[in-house]
């Protein structure tokens, strides 16, 4: 199981390179609702009742497609100590003598040599989905079915970025799960997990969907996790998350914890993402991702106002990578992506998800907001290069020397110094400080107009409304900051 530990860092923007996976899967017919409701008296002497779902039928019908996974690492390297015991058969008279001389393995090391997890069958001929981290560093994989049959599994492929792995066992006519529609899943809906926490196989826990489209701190990939309050513990990883129709909507993957134990927040990989990855692993053994070649950030309410948008929707392009698809198409910093092939982009998390279902070479139609109006732009996705993350270094640029110099803009609370790179922030107070600007930032644009000296900055500021969008470089990153000029 993977743990997400809380951290206290002020993130100015969620910036990342857009990547996704191609492939897909056939839609399966929706099943009837398996979960019935049970009336529970309110206990107050009245007639009101509370309806709770009864998961018995779901577990009975779908539990047979859930498996336990036992992964282990070969211990030959550990056993090969150079002692005479190596290579001796156990019936050799000297075997027990030399065995006593062998160093004892550390219990923690023994524990590290074994992983326990869960999975579920997606095809009658033995393809199984689970988490990559369950199998990481392991050499031997055993799958135990619900009826206690055991199989040695072959790792078809795994994808670290999505944490999805595909296994294959030599079996036929197996029960398979039904795949649900993640888009139809609603916050507040009941869901259930079946897995093997701590090795207790076929354990069932239930809860509700707390949120959708969650991105997690310190995660390099942009999987739009489903957040639930379903109890998930070590051993549940890789198991299915069911909706009330008995359809799998996610793979249980991580928990958010301060102690390492379950604290009421768990995360599942959406099944559409997992099935897309699985199809590529099955056909090619690897996952090929596409890229648009932009760095994006969330559109805040103040940024939306500064760009003339009525609502804080979309993904704001903070930087366009050179020679990428976006640059070739003519996308620019300050463009806001509102839709992909007609499907709305409500937040910055939506864009990589929509792109992620499409293979390189696909032509997308992006609906963007530019200069106060909406327009469509066609972008051809390119194959992904090596993934990297832009860092926001805290150190000041070398060209800033001393405390004085430059010019002051009282209205904005800024003291700026012209440089070859832009206008370096010497001091930030008032509106600028409240906006998050700080010494060492470099202002590149004001409302999409490049600025390089006092005159260009004041001219752009004079044409702005109450809230202005500044494109700022901080270390290696670029980000838009909304500056409220009303004080």
Is residue 452 annotated as part of the catalytic site, yes or no? Answer: no
How far, in Å, CA of 161 to CA of 143, rounded? 24
Q: Does 163 carry a binding-site annotation?
A: yes
Q: Does 236 carry a binding-site annotation?
A: yes
Helix (H) or strand (E) holding 120: strand 114-121
The single residue of 68, 158, 163, 335 carrying the catalytic annotation is: 163
Q: Does 80 carry a binding-site annotation?
A: no
The single residue of 118, 133, 201, 306 carrying the catalytic annotation is: 133
Q: Count CB atoms within 10 A of the CB of residue 442.
A: 21
Q: Count CB atoms within 10 A of the CB of residue 139.
A: 13
Q: Does 137 carry a binding-site annotation?
A: no
Q: Count CB atoms within 10 A of the CB of residue 313.
A: 18
How far, in Å, CA of 250 to CA of 350, rounded? 17
Comparing CA positions, the residue from 481, 439, 456 lying closest to residue 303 is 481
Contact 141, 118 (CB under 8 A): no
How far, in Å, CA of 418 to CA of 362, rounded? 43
Burial string for 77-101 (b: 16+ CB within 10 Å, else e) reads: eeeeeeeebeebeeeeeeeeeeeee
Q: Does 476 carry a binding-site annotation?
A: no
Q: How far is CA 77 from the centre of its chain?
A: 35
Phi-psi region of 421 (alpha: psi -120 to 50; beta: other; left: phi over 0): alpha
Comparing CA positions, the residue from 106, 153, 161, 94 lying closest to residue 133 is 161
Indicate the SS3 state at residue 156: strand
Is residue 25 annotated as part of the catalytic site, yes or no? Answer: no
Indicate the SS3 state at residue 108: helix
Q: How far is CA 134 from the centre of its chain?
A: 17
The single residue of 68, 237, 253, 306 carrying the catalytic annotation is: 237
Nearest 5°: phi and psi at 78? Answer: -70, -35
**Which whole-number Å values give the CA distances from 139 to 155, 324, 475, in the listed order?**
10, 39, 42
Is residue 350 annotated as part of the catalytic site, yes or no? Answer: no
**Which residues carry a binding-site annotation for substrate?**
133, 163, 235-237
Catalytic residues: 133, 163, 237
Q: Which residues are annotated as a binding site?
A: 133, 163, 235-237
């Amino acid at each position: 199981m993977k743990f997400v530990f809380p951290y206290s860092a002020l993130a100015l923007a969620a910036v990342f390179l857009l990547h996704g996976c191609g492939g897909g899967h056939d839609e399966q017919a929706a099943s009837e609702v398996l979960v019935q409701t049970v009336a529970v008296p309110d206990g107050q002497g009245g007639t009101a009742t509370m309806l709770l779902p009864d998961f018995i039928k779901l577990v009975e019908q779908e539990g047979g497609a859930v498996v336990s996974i036992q992964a282990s690492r070969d211990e030959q390297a550990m056993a090969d100590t150079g002692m005479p015991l190596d290579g001796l058969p156990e019936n050799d008279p000297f075997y027990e003598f030399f065995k006593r001389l062998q160093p004892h393995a550390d219990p923690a090391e023994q524990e590290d040599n074994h992983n326990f997890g869960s999975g579920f069958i997606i095809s009658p001929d033995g393809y199984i989905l689970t988490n990559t981290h369950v199998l990481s560093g392991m050499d031997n994989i055993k799958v135990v079915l619900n009826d206690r049959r055991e199989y040695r599994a072959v790792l078809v492929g795994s994808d670290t970025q999505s944490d999805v792995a595909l296994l294959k066992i030599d079996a036929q006519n197996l029960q398979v799960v039904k795949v649900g529609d993640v888009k139809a899943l609603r916050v507040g809906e009941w869901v259930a997990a079946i897995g093997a926490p701590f090795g207790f196989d076929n354990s069932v826990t239930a809860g509700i969907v707390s949120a959708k489209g969650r991105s997690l701190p310190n995660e390099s990939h942009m999987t739009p996790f489903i957040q639930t309050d379903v109890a998930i513990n070590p051993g549940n990883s890789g198991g299915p998350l069911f909706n009330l129709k008995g359809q799998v909507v996610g793979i249980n993957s991580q928990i958010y914890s301060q102690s390492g134990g379950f604290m009421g927040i768990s995360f599942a990989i959406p099944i559409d993402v997992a099935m897309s990855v699985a199809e590529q692993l099955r056909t090619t053994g690897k996952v090929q991702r596409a890229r648009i070649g932009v760095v994006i950030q969330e559109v805040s309410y103040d940024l939306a106002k500064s760009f003339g948008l009525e609502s804080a929707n979309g993904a704001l392009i903070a930087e366009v990578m050179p020679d990428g698809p976006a640059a070739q198409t003519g996308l620019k910093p300050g463009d806001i992506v509102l839709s992909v092939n007609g499907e709305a982009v409500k937040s910055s998390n939506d864009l990589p998800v929509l792109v992620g279902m499409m293979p390189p070479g696909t032509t997308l139609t992006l609906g963007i907001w530019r200069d106060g109006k909406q327009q469509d732009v066609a972008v051809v996705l390119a194959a992904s290069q090596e993934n990297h993350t832009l860092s926001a270094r805290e150190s000041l640029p070398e060209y800033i020397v001393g405390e004085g110099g430059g010019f002051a803009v009282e209205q904005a609370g800024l003291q700026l110094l012209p440089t070859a790179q832009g206008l370096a922030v010497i001091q930030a107070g008032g509106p600028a400080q409240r906006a998050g600007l700080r010494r060492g930032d470099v202002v590149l644009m004001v409302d999409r107009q490049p600025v390089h000296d006092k005159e260009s900055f004041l001219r752009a500021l004079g044409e702005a409304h109450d809230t202005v969008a500044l494109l700022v470089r901080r270390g290696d990153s670029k980000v838009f900051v909304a500056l409220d000029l009303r004080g």
